[in-house]
């Protein structure tokens, strides 16, 4: 689960830091962080998708929010799997065979079965 979270968070952090630094043209001497490249990237994506370039960042933000809710849902399901299944069983009236007590034979019947 840790590796899953790491592989999920690293691209989000990289994309968010690139977007923030290039949007405000804080480039530290790197061409990849310039505002010109920022505008060029979103122009290319906008042309490929057939939408205006300024509508792409909100779409990416919505996708990140949706992915975050999905990841949180996976974490909740993993941690509370037994509780979820128990509540589903109770809701539908299902019982497990393990929950039903096994009827044991009385001691006299058990003694008689050993004699034969």
Question: pTM (2 decimals)?
Answer: 0.69
Whether residue 103 is predicted with pLDDT greater than 60 in this model: the reply is: no
Q: What average pLDDT score do residues 49-55 get?
A: 96
Q: What is the mean pLDDT of the chain?
A: 87
Please answer whether residues 27 and 34 qualify as being in contact, where contact means their C-beta atoms are separated by less than 8 angstroms.
yes
Q: What average pLDDT score do residues 27-54 get?
A: 95
For residue 16, give the nearest of 71, 63, 70 by alpha carbon: 63
Which residue in the block uniquely carries the two structure tokens 């960042």? 57
Structure tokens at 64: 């990140």
Categorize the per-residue pLDDT at 69 as very low, low, confident or very high, splitting at 50, 70 and 90.
Answer: very high
């Amino acid at each position: 689960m840790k590796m899953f979270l790491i592989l999920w968070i690293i691209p989000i952090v990289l994309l968010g830091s690139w977007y923030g630094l290039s949007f405000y043209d804080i480039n530290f001497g790197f061409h990849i962080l310039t505002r010109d490249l920022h505008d060029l990237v979103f122009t290319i994506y906008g042309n490929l998708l057939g939408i205006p370039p300024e509508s792409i960042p909100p779409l990416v933000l919505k996708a990140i929010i949706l992915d975050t809710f999905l990841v949180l849902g996976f974490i909740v399901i993993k941690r509370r799997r037994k509780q979820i299944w128990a509540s589903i069983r109770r809701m539908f009236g299902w019982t497990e065979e393990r929950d039903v007590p096994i009827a044991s034979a009385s001691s006299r019947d058990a003694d008689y079965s050993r004699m034969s």
